[in-house]
Chain A
Amino acid sequence: MTERDKIFSRIRDALKTASPKPGSHHLGHHPTAQQPDSLTAARTAASGARDWLPSVGHTEAEWITLFTKNSFDLRTSVIVAADAGAAHRQLRALSEAEGWARVATHGHGIAAGASAALGLNQINTDGGYDVHALERCDAGISGCDALIAQTGSILLTTRSGGGRALSVLPPHHVVIARLDQMVPDLPSAYELLHHTYGPAQWPSMITIITGPSRTGDIERILVLGAHGPKKLTVILY
């Protein structure tokens, strides 16, 4: 018998006695047997989450306002630009203000376009990259799958974000996104993932980024840029 078999047989033996559904503990010390279908009758977070999570409003305008407000609390900068040209100018202004010399990006439509408009030395992670070179970049410029209004988050995968490291190694992560990538809440973000990626494309990493990297480990005092980016900017148009 392999160790796997042993573990599975211990689990099956253990589960021969049913355990009471949560919330029914005080009905007695001895759990009553569950009806066979009651497990599937349990409420699931997957289908019910929206009813309990914080409210988000109904219109796209409300979502954008909420996203901006949440971002402000999280110390993410949000720049809403009128069009692609304006977004590129905003990115250039940011680059000049911070004196960027080198940036990293990937072949994602609007992120690549914006980075190219900077006219700086750049690494493109698409064809593989040298990790030391990526570490020396002043900013990582990426696309994303969606922005989540409810939590002020960015949903990004290896496919939409130029791999695993581009969005976390350089000290400033800039996300270029379109306004119509805004989704209201977390359940919508998960629905979107199932829509976007089939089994063959399914990314090996999906991340939900909520603000720049942070820690409170020293006396519970907030410090940004613990290991990941110290700054996070979202440029939207």
Chain B
Amino acid sequence: MTGNATQFQNDADRLTSDLTHRQRIQSAMTKYYAARYPRQAIFRDWQEGRQTAAETKWAGINELDKHLAEFEKNAVSRGTSVHWTSTSEQARQVIVDIIRRHNAQRIVKSKVMTSEEIHLNQLLESLGFEVVESDLGEYIQQLKNEPPYHFVFPCMHLSREEISDLFENHLGTAQTHDPEALTMIARDVLRKKYIEADIGITGANFIVAETGMISITENEGNARLTAALPRVMITLVGIEKILPRLADLALFLPMLATAGTGQPLTCYNTMYGGPRQPGEVDGPEEWHVVFLDNNRTTLLADPEQRDALHCIRCGACLNVCPIFKNVGGFSYGTTYQGPIGSVITPHLRGLQDWKHLSSASSLCGACTETCPVKIDLHHHLLHNRRNAVAEKPGRLESLLWQGFTFLMKRPWLYQTGLRVGRLLQPLHGLVKGDILDPARAWTKSRELPEIAPVSFRDYWKNRPLVSAGDRKGGPP
């Protein structure tokens, strides 16, 4: 097992039996379901909408080169600088160069999941820049020195008491357990940051080829401020966020809001198409769009799983996933958690290192069913399992199967095994659940079924004979 798999198993083990943790996720998710399903129900046709969204992304992704070039042409014509980066290192370098060129010191960020992917904050901090996350949840996670727990709800695992303690420790504010008062503390601190910042860094939910714009979805207004006040704006975005036309957003924005949080539309959906233009009163003097590949083209090269690039990061597949609800967001150890993370991480960071996530699934298909762009998530988990074994057959696993085959082909051996097992089972009670127990992985939280006193085979052989007449009434 790789280190990642061990870490996953240990964390998952610990958190599954942490009832407070589970209760917190449960309560957050109950609120999500209550908001989402009624909202989805008022669509004239949600299912056809999903199909349309899936086909639109499919058309975008399958002509990705054409659409990216179109974006570039349009954005550059309005004075935008477009940068292309293949790796995390390159993306980090491009961003640091821009910051240095402006002699900038203070940086404010709105939510950028891709920056988690390239570990941007750690780098900028180590170089002595001040970087502040402005999304409330991300800000809390930054103070906590933890990555986001869920890529849509970054601090859903924390209680208001914990957040209050955190603010008291870092900001010296008085204790309060009122979510509104806590939010206002962050608002006051961050207002100053937007105004003082030299550089604003944002992500993007969509790249619109037709008009050379990006679209940002948010509720708080922090991204709007980040894109309005600092004199330089940098947008870091994965190349797969493409949409061919501006009006495609008419479907994608409400679907993202509905699947993401159960809102009709997220509070601010803002499209940016350049730095400040002639005749405009504000906005950054420069806008840099940094495109990141970081192995997205590896996933693109797999036609079977290419649709995983259609993901609009709504987070719905996490919210419905029985595994996520038990093991929580941190156990995954990935930037993107839940089913979509389990599908794409092996492509982005190595199949053998991340294949274990594809096995952490009950294959119930809830993710596939909830996905607004119809990504075939649970089949992709199977595809990953198949590919992992094809690439590197597991010795232990194949040995186990050989043993099983050997046993099943020899009824006498199987019978003997059963008899011995029946005799030994009472002794199992002595070690059950502890370290000597061979079935520990199962018995530490579950009962082992008892071996039946008589096997079916024995029962059949010795069954009381009944006459043909008695059988007429059928089974009792």
Contacts and interface: CB of A to CB of B under 8 A. Distances in A.
A103 interface: no
A163 B282 contact: yes
Contacts, number: 336
Contacts of B46: 52
B69 to A, nearest CB: 8
Contacts of B195: 131-132, 135
A220 B31 CA distance: 7
A185 B136 contact: no
Contact of B48 (A51, A153, A211, A213): A51
Nearest to B45: A52
A42 B60 CA distance: 10
A10 B265 contact: no
Nearest to A4: B84
Given A55-B44, A202-B211, A204-B283, A218 B275 contact: no
B270 A48 contact: no
B52 A19 contact: no
Interface string A175-199: 0000000000111011101100000
Contacts of A82: none
A3 B159 contact: no
A101 interface: no
A218 B182 contact: yes
B58 A42 contact: yes
A65 interface: no
B136 to A, nearest CB: 4
Contact of A49 (B86, B153, B163, B247): B247
Contact of A45 (B182, B247, B301, B379): B247
Interface string A148-166: 0011110000110011110
B62 interface: yes
Contacts of B135: 217
B248 interface: yes
Contact of B65 (A11, A29, A106): A11
Interface string A218-237: 11110101111100000000
A89 interface: no
A80 interface: no
A13 interface: yes
A205 B228 CA distance: 9
A215 B220 contact: yes
Contact of A18 (B62, B224, B227): B62
Interface string A11-49: 111110111111101100101000000011011111111
Contact-residue size bin, chain A (C-beta under 8 Å from the other chain)? 35 or more
A125 interface: yes
B156 interface: yes
B455 interface: no
Nearest to A33: B303
Contact of A219 (B179, B243, B310): B179
B252 A45 contact: yes
B246 interface: yes
A23 B54 contact: yes
Contacts of A209: 267-268
B249 A190 contact: yes
B106 interface: no
B58 A21 contact: yes
B306 interface: yes
Interface in B88-105: 90
Interface string A95-113: 0000000000010000000
B198 interface: no
Contacts of B291: 7
Given A11-B300, A53-B49, A205-B273, A165 B246 contact: no
B159 A217 contact: no
Contact of A21 (B55, B86, B134, B267): B55
Given A43-B52, A151-B254, A218-B163, 16 more contacts: A7-B86, A19-B307, A46-B245, A50-B250, A54-B43, A159-B280, A168-B268, A202-B273, A203-B273, A205-B273, A207-B268, A208-B253, A213-B267, A218-B136, A218-B160, A226-B221
A70 interface: yes
B254 A53 contact: yes
Interface of B: 27-28, 31-32, 42-46, 48-49, 51-59, 61-65, 68-69, 78, 84-86, 90, 134-137, 140, 153-156, 158-160, 163, 179-180, 182-184, 186-187, 190-191, 195, 211, 213, 219-222, 224-225, 227-229, 239, 243-254, 261, 263-277, 279-283, 287, 291, 293, 297, 300-301, 303-304, 306-307, 310, 373-374, 376, 379
B86 A48 contact: no
Contacts of A189: 250
B48 A52 contact: yes
B46 to A, nearest CB: 7
Nearest to B137: A217
Contacts of B373: 22
Nearest to A12: B65
Contact of B52 (A52, A163, A187, A225): A52
Contacts of B211: 202
Contact of A228 (B221, B248, B252): B221
A47 B63 CA distance: 19
A92 interface: no
Among A48, A158, A204: residue with most chain B CB under 10 A: A204
B225 A227 contact: yes
A214 B263 CA distance: 12
A226 B222 contact: yes
Nearest first, the 8 A-B pairs at minimum CB distance are A228-B221, A52-B49, A164-B228, A22-B54, A226-B220, A45-B251, A14-B301, A217-B137
B153 A217 contact: yes
Contacts of A212: 267
A150 B42 CA distance: 11
Contact of A151 (B78, B264, B270): B264
Among B78, B85, B268: residue with most chain A CB under 10 A: B268
B222 to A, nearest CB: 4
A174 interface: no
A201 B177 CA distance: 48
A206 interface: yes
Among A21, A29, A48: residue with most chain B CB under 10 A: A48
A44 B245 contact: yes
A129 interface: yes
